[in-house]
């Protein structure tokens, strides 16, 4: 334990001794002993891994979560999400549902994919209109277009 001032006044330490003791504390690497718990799973957004480190005394804990989209090993993050379009995500979810024999979910995903493919051109045109409406600050029109896009995607 750090005793900067000596035993309550007896054997007082000089300022230099106290500073050297403080410096020695911060110059040594700090290692925390503990245990790590790893959980893995998947949901409608893809696979995930959660790793939690807890110190032996429980006073220190760090948790990290990594999400993976599809089966291609690409990490899920705001940057990588933009490289996937909605159809690719749905197709990946469909493959996974079939592999896991979740056939009701697979039917829903199949229907959603067909709907998106059939309405893709219309959705693209509406998204362009939506962008113009927002830029023109015609928010009532934007809401109607947004709702129409949502209906076409479902």
3-state SS, residue 5: coil
Is the pLDDT assigned to residue 44 strictly greater than 80?
no
Is the pLDDT assigned to residue 14 strictly greater than 70?
yes
3-state helix, strand, coil in the chain (%, to 5): 50, 20, 25
Mean pLDDT of 47-72: 80
Is the pLDDT assigned to residue 32 strictly greater than 80?
no
Residue 49 Cα distances to 8, 27, 41, 76, angstroms:
51, 34, 7, 12
Q: So what's the pLDDT on residue 90?
A: 87
Residues 6+ positions from 66 with CB-CB distance below 8 Å:
48, 49, 75
């Amino acid at each position: 334990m750090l005793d900067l001032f000596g035993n309550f006044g007896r054997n007082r330490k000089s300022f230099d001794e106290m500073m050297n003791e403080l410096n020695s504390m911060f110059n040594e690497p700090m290692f925390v002993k503990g245990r790590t718990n790893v959980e893995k799973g998947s949901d409608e957004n893809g696979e995930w891994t959660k790793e939690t480190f807890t110190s032996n005394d429980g006073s220190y804990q760090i948790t990290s979560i990594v999400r993976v989209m599809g089966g291609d090993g690409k990490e899920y993050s705001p940057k990588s999400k933009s490289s996937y379009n909605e159809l690719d995500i749905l197709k990946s979810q469909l493959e996974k549902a079939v592999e896991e024999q979740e056939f009701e979910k697979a039917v829903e995903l199949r229907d959603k994919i067909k709907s998106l493919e059939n309405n893709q051109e219309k959705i693209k045109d509406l998204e362009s209109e939506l962008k113009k409406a927002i830029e023109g600050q015609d928010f009532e029109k934007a809401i109607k277009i947004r709702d129409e896009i949502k209906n076409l995607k479902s």
